[in-house]
Amino acid sequence: MKFPILLPNIFNHPFTYESDIKLKIGDFVEVPFGKTKITGVVWDDFEKNSSKKFKIKKIISKLDIPSLKKSTLDFLNWFSEYNIVPKGMALKLVLISSKDLKSTDQKFYDSLIFNRHDNLINLTNDQNKSLQQINSSNEKFNVHVLQGTTGSGKTFVYFEALKNILNKGFQGLILLPEIGLTSQFEKKFIEFFKFKPAIWHSGITKKNKKIIWNGIIRGKISVVIGARSSLFLPFKNLGLIIVDEEHDQSYKQDEGVIYHARDMAISRASFEKIPINLITSVPSVETYENIKKKKYNFSRLEQRYQNASLPNFEIINLNHVRLQKQSWLSKEIIQKVNFHLEKKDQVLFFLNRRGFSPNVLCKKCLSSFSCPNCSINLVYHKIKNNLLCHYCGFKTSLIRSCSQDGNCDFMFSGPGVERITEEVKKKFPNKKIEIFSSDTMNKKGSKEKLEKIINNEIEILVGTQLISKGFHFPHLNCIVVFDIDLSSHGHDLRGAEKNLQLYHQLSGRAGRTGQSSTVYFQTYNYNSTIINDITNKNPDIFLEKEVEIRKKNNLPPFQRFISLILTGPNENKLEKEAIKFKLFLKNKLIGKVLGPVNAPIFRLKGRYRVRLLIRGPKNLKLQKSLSAVINKYKFLPGIKLSVDVDPISFN
């Protein structure tokens, strides 16, 4: 008997194999492929219109693993079509290995199963009301948005909603935007539920991934807390998906298979016919518009936990304040920070820039140091004493001979967190100071560092955007914001939206235990309208304006954007090919083709980059027409195309 077997590879169709084994759709099998053996899945349809004559190979064996559910297959077929990704690559997201999947470790699973218990948590009236709204429709697919001021206790509400689902024997998935959040979140989860969740992200060992994968498909694991990739795990009996910080841009996977995990989570819930909760302090514009259209259910927590007030804010206008030479801290800021430190408040200096300095220039030969592989500056990291590219990872020494005389004499333009830290240490010499960024918090010692911050053993933090994402620091009552871009958005469609979300996330770190707290903006870009918009306690005022701007200009979420990025090693050939490709696309699509233009980062990892943008209606017809055209076009050798449906960045 013949069977269609989909393999985790770049093919958009299953291969035909034969076998005497009794098989059904979703079964895992081992098959010969070329000179190797590979794991595949019995798919729901044969390859269409294959005119090639080929010898049909035999399936080697059926694997002793529960079948992939029909709803998961349907989701992967849709995912492939929506994101214009080969079906085999969609399957690859589900499979952790193309070879052996079997692994069992019963002891490992013992602590990962939910045991029914009545955990008494006193919810406020607001929280109870939200919980009832969530629970009232948790039998079927629906999207419920839980919006609440940071520190309002949203987590306990959705924990209670999840507990109801677990009591019915279902599994749960909680998506978090950052790996760095998992350890503090896991602790909170265990305190509430009295059992362990399975943690899933890129830092988990291959051995543990195999054990977790098997536990999930066999129903031996109750809850997974994970990053984007956990969305594709083969749950036996998934009952609820929770997307925490739904607005966070980290949910966009922008390399390899490109997709938005929040949007794909909503679709997976739809195929599974289960509820999904989106949790946020400030919804994305897309989510806000869906709430307005009543496509999503909605509830809101207005009060912070124990009625803690939101931080005040003050502006230090640098146009009226003179900074000392090579200094980034105004006298006013130093006075404010000293006032807070005397009260035993923890202080955060926030600058969303890693390293010491983003620009390095030689005073003698005037050479600046850019990446040899990418068209961006190298960032100087003083702690490691090297120049680093934040895109391709290229590293080089700072020491180099000058074309004028001897070695280069460097000048550093602009600060990063390391440079701010250096000045903070000079101004506050007796204080314990720590950098909080992805360079320092993804290391083995980060758990201990978090404990010290929580216990106020570290008095001053200098942090990047990572610190804004859901951490609970009870003593943090003073935040100094450097360089938040309060000017126009430039080419970034979501610039203003990001600023709004970043401010609310940041301010939510302060004053969580009821003490008075303040956020200080130190900026040259003084724009009172923008500052009032982003600091308003009701973010809907800003979102309403933003929706109107998007609607007026036919921008997402009112129209679909698909970004096509062509890359190649030769600049001239690439530009000619991009023009030729545009002419080929023209009149064959439902949408409008814009470009080609050079990407803002024109060279990345040694390859030049040119962009085309498709604008069209918000339905699958646009993707179907584009996919059909792409399949008919043959690019020159060395030129690659990547497709980004619903792009959030135009770098």
Task: Kindly report the average pLDDT of the chain as a whole number.
Answer: 86
Q: How far is CA 572 from CA 29, 567, 568, 605, in A?
A: 47, 12, 10, 18
What CA–CA distance (Å, rounded) separates 246 from 279? 6
Give mean pLDDT, residues 376-381: 86
User: What pLDDT shows up at residue 574?
Assistant: 95
Are residues 286 and 175 part of one domain?
A: yes
> Is 365 within the bounds of a domain?
no
> Do 192 and 245 belong together in one domain?
yes
Where a domain ends, among 242, 276, 305? 305
- Determine which of 89-103, 127-141, 492-506, 575-589 has the lowest per-residue pLDDT on average: 492-506
Task: Write the DSSP assignment of 463-529 as a string of letters.
Answer: E-GGGGSS---TTEEEEEEE----S--TT-TTHHHHHHHHHHHHHTTSSTTS---EEEEEES---HH
Split at pLDDT 50, 70, 90, the class of 260 is very high
529 touches 345 (CB < 8 A): no
Q: Domain check: are 193 and 272 in the same one? A: yes
Q: Which of 239, 227, 246 is nearest to 268 (CA)?
A: 239
pLDDT digit string (tens) for 415-455?
Answer: 888 888 988 999 999 889 888 877 776 656 667 777 787 78
pLDDT for 492 equals: 63
Structure tokens at 555: 């921008």
pLDDT digits (tens, 9 = 90+) for 481-499: 886 554 444 456 777 787 7
Per-residue model confidence as pLDDT tens digits over 559-574: 999 999 999 999 999 9
Is 374 a domain residue? no
**Are 142 and 216 contained in the same domain?**
yes
Both 29 and 54 in one domain: the answer is yes
Closest CA to 195 of 218, 217, 225: 225
Range of the domain at 569: 560-645
Do the domain assignments include residue 68?
yes
User: Are 200 and 312 members of one domain?
Assistant: no
Q: Give the domain-ending residue among 94, 126, 150.
A: 94
The pLDDT value given to residue 489: 43
With respect to residue 72, please indicate whether it lies within any of the assigned structural domains: yes
Query: DSSP character for 234?
Result: -
**Angstrom distance (rounded) from CA 482 to CA 486:** 11
Q: Based on the domain organization, do 442 and 489 belong to the same domain?
A: yes
Residues 279 and 145 in one domain: yes
Q: What percent of the chain has pLDDT over 90?
A: 42
The tokens of 583 are what?
């002419």
Collapsed DSSP state (helix, strand, coil) of residue 534: helix
Give a yes or no: residue 396 inside a domain: no
Kindly report which listed range (37-41, 517-521, 642-646) carries the lowest average pLDDT score. Answer: 517-521
Q: Is residue 364 part of a domain?
A: no
Residue 56 DSSP symbol = P
Alpha carbon distance 172, 230 (integer Å): 11
Q: What is residue 53's predicted lDDT score, i.e. its pLDDT? A: 66
pLDDT grade for 107, boundaries at 50, 70 and 90: confident
Q: Is the pLDDT of residue 640 over 90?
A: yes
Q: Which two tokens stand for residue 216?
A: 């999930």
pLDDT at 224 over 90: yes
Q: Does residue 137 register a pLDDT over 90?
A: no
Strand-by-strand arrangement of the 476-482 sheet = 312-317, 518-523, 476-482, 346-350, 460-463, 433-436
Predicted pLDDT of residue 242: 97
The verdict on 434 and 497 lying in the same domain is yes
Dump pLDDT digits (tens) for 606-634.
899 999 999 998 888 899 999 999 999 99
Secondary structure (DSSP) of 599-645: EEEEEETTEEEEEEEEEE-SSHHHHHHHHHHHHH--PPTT-EEEEEE
Question: 634 or 524: which carries more pLDDT confidence?
Answer: 634
The total number of structural domains in the chain stands at 4
**Residue (of 258, 260, 232) closest to 247 by Cα position:** 260
**What CATH number did the domain enclosing 259 receive?**
3.40.50.300
Domain contains 483: yes
Out of 94-98, 405-409, 633-637, give the one with best mean pLDDT. Answer: 633-637
Of 96-110, 113-127, 236-250, 414-428, the poorest mean pLDDT is in: 96-110
Question: Domain check: are 301 and 312 in the same one?
Answer: no
Least confident of 100-104, 149-153, 424-428, 545-549: 100-104
DSSP symbols for 269-335: HHHHT--EEEEESS--HHHHHHHHTTSSEEEEE-SPGGGPPPPEEEEEETTSSPPPTT--S-HHHHH
Write down the pLDDT at residue 636.
Answer: 93
CATH of the domain at 22: 3.40.1440.60
Q: What is the pLDDT of residues 272-319, one digit of tens each?
A: 999 999 999 889 999 999 999 999 999 999 876 655 667 788 888 777
Residue that terminates a domain, selected from 67, 94, 121: 94
CATH of the domain at 612: 3.30.70.600
**How far apart (Å, rounded) are the C-alpha atoms in residues 32 and 55?**
12
Whether 493 and 519 share a structural domain: yes
Which letter, b or e, does each residue of 538-549 get, where b requires 16 or more Cβ atoms within 10 Å of its Cβ?
ebbebbeebbee
As a whole number of Å, the end-to-end CA separation of the chain is 50
Tokens of 69: 């559910």
**Sign of torsion, CA 613 614 619 623?**
negative
**137 and 21 share one domain:** no
Residue 11 falls inside a structural domain: yes
User: pLDDT band at 99, cuts 50/70/90?
Assistant: low
